[in-house]
A and B are shown apart, each in its own frame.
Chain A
């Protein structure tokens, strides 16, 4: 009894702090403070996923939401300052509410809240969901982790589209082509040692998450984002890709993830008549191939997103 009460208290406290953090992060005028509050929000969101019995999402939220998005936002803030410093303005977040009459957003919010409350109240008392069907077909899927089975087999189409979206995001960032302001100094001894220790560990943990995703929480996106974090750490120490790898090899790796996915989609359509219908015998092997290529591709894409500008090929000079 006491344990249940304590669990409720923990969850309630977590929910309240999440709401407060979201409000303060949007309402503060200092951009840096907003970013730090957003990072804290990501941390607590991962805790919330853990409490909701969703460790796969918790790992992804910890890696992407708290870690990588934090680094991306800080990089964006640095670029913003470099741009506005030339114009002599300090970057400040404009509170959006000041531009509208106060009652307009309030009415919209109440409307949305009422709609959501109605939907929640209309739900059946015991949600049925699809877990029964997933469990029934798990043996034919090639893996024993139901989340991985759904992501890479039953709903592989959605994952294919997600990977293409990630590539499109990178292309959009490259098309903006805002170079990193200033040349970073050489890393000191501490940063150098830290990166030498952490980057191999990050790569190992990424490989571990990839392998464990078949039978426990983990998988390609989680492993890919940890790999991306390794890339971000390398870039932060001033490491750059050697020039001979900047052109075609980099682009090949970036495209490999969605490319192999599309190739497998075409192959399965040709052999079985259905899009992304894996034959049960080869399903495990196909998933392993897909996950491995996707991990490397996602990792490199995320690191390239952090770096921001496209590699200066020979034709640009």
Chain B
């Protein structure tokens, strides 16, 4: 099982690296930001796998903090920092 955990961790890390291409290319700012979202989720999965592989329960706490904080950056992007001239925020 150890080998499977680490092999999957490497596979997910490679996925993450592949996603960087979208950050570099992504024509709009939203593309870059949602690539960052995918990185966050992939990192959560990697941390959970590492937690099981090295029997370190603390890494699950790290994954918990990751899961929560990834949303904050995205909300800050949507509400504050969309890099375009139109500053009309979402009106519901």
| Direct A–B contact in complex, judged by CB atoms less than 8 Å apart | yes
- Residues on A close to B: CB < 8 A? 2-3, 6-7, 9-10, 13-14, 17, 21, 24, 31-33, 36-37, 39-40, 43-44, 46-47, 50-51, 53, 55-56, 58-59, 62-63, 66-68, 70-71, 74-75, 77-78, 81, 85, 181-182, 184-189, 191, 194, 198, 201-202, 205, 209, 212, 216-218, 222, 226, 229, 232-233, 236-237
Do A40 and B23 touch (CB < 8 A)? yes
Note all chain A residues with C-beta closer than 8 A to B69: 62-63, 66-68, 226, 229
Q: Which one, B17, B46, B77, contacts A74 given CB within 8 A? A: B77
Do A222 and B81 touch (CB < 8 A)? no
B51: nearest residue on chain A (CB-CB)? A50
Do B81 and A58 touch (CB < 8 A)? no
B8-56 contacts to A (CB < 8 Å): 9-10, 13-14, 16-17, 20, 23-24, 29, 32-33, 35-36, 39-40, 43, 46-47, 50, 56
State how many angstroms separate the Cβ of B9 from the closest Cβ of chain A: 6
Note all chain B residues with C-beta closer than 8 A to A198: 68, 71
Do B66 and A62 touch (CB < 8 A)? yes
Do B85 and A85 touch (CB < 8 A)? yes
A216: nearest residue on chain B (CB-CB)? B58
State how many angstroms separate the Cβ of B34 from the closest Cβ of chain A: 10
Do A185 and B68 touch (CB < 8 A)? no
- Counting contact residues on chain B (CB < 8 A from A), the size range is 35 or more
Given A205-B65, A226-B68, A194-B24 contact (CB < 8 Å): no
Do B72 and A33 touch (CB < 8 A)? no
State how many angstroms separate the Cβ of A154 from the closest Cβ of chain B: 21
Q: A78 CA to B80 CA in the complex, in Å?
A: 6
Q: Which one, A71, A187, A209, A237, contacts B61 given CB within 8 A? A: A209
Q: Which one, A21, A32, A55, contacts B81 given CB within 8 A? A: A32
Note all chain A residues with C-beta closer than 8 A to B76: 70-71, 74-75, 232, 236
Using an 8 Å CB-CB cutoff, how does the interface string of B50-92 with A read, 1 for contact, 0 for none?
A: 1000001111011011101111110111111101010111111
Do A216 and B57 touch (CB < 8 A)? yes
Q: Which one, B13, B32, B39, B68, contacts A32 given CB within 8 A? A: B32
B79: nearest residue on chain A (CB-CB)? A236
B23: nearest residue on chain A (CB-CB)? A36
Do B65 and A40 touch (CB < 8 A)? no
State how many angstroms separate the Cβ of B25 from the closest Cβ of chain A: 10
Do B29 and A32 touch (CB < 8 A)? yes
Note all chain B residues with C-beta closer than 8 A to A226: 65, 68-69
Note all chain A residues with C-beta closer than 8 A to B35: 36
